[in-house]
A and B are shown apart, each in its own frame.
Chain A
């Protein structure tokens, strides 16, 4: 029973364009949502988070949008750069733990 779902295993985007990564969740008790980026053979690194009381958080090229009624969040990266090629994990937290999605592999094309 997946509480955090990333339905696109992979995504290819042209360099300079906008990358949009999507995530759905089922548990309305989650109070924080986070995005992590992971390169091969490294641990995930924190990118950006959003509280459940907000609907948008922006940090440089990265913006996270939260739609609580749809239980959906998305990460926008603009403009996309070659170094953005990685696996992106959506995560949601409540109480003591964080639940991760399976990840979306983003390929930035030259």
Chain B
């Protein structure tokens, strides 16, 4: 029973480059969430997706960030023209039902640590 798989675990980019973070949800989960954690901070919601649909992107910065969850393949969080402030841990979670209610919580991957040089 594979859990939520994120790759890469660590990603180093120079300012101005693009970062692509991948997330494969748990088997049977069709709801995917992306969170960002800055040092000494909690997890900040970014975006909620179901297959081929963005349900809620209220936590996504307006520029440079995008997310998708295609019919086939993993969910991708894409950051264009990265800046130093994008350095953070990015976590993906998946759930069976909407927002991981009650006894069906969100299950998290181990995150991608993004470092911008």
Q: How far is the CB of A16 from chain B (nearest CB, A)?
A: 29
Are B55 and A96 in contact, with the CB atoms below 8 A? yes
A79 to B56, CA, bound (A): 40
**How many residues on the B side are at the interface (Cβ–Cβ under 8 A)?**
30
Are A43 and B99 in contact, with the CB atoms below 8 A? no
Are B43 and A100 in contact, with the CB atoms below 8 A? yes
Q: Number of A-B pairs whose CB atoms are under 8 Å?
A: 64
Task: Please provide the chain A residues from 64 to 110 with a CB less than 8 Å away from any CB of chain B in the complex.
Answer: 89, 93-103
Taking CB as reference atom, which chain A residue is nearest B40? A102
Beyond A44-B108, A97-B59, 18 additional pairs, beta carbon < 8 A: A34-B100, A34-B105, A42-B111, A43-B93, A43-B108, A51-B102, A89-B42, A97-B56, A97-B58, A97-B99, A98-B45, A98-B99, A98-B100, A99-B45, A100-B35, A100-B42, A102-B42, A103-B42
* B-binding residues in A (CB < 8 A): 4, 6, 32, 34, 36, 41-46, 49, 51, 89, 93-103
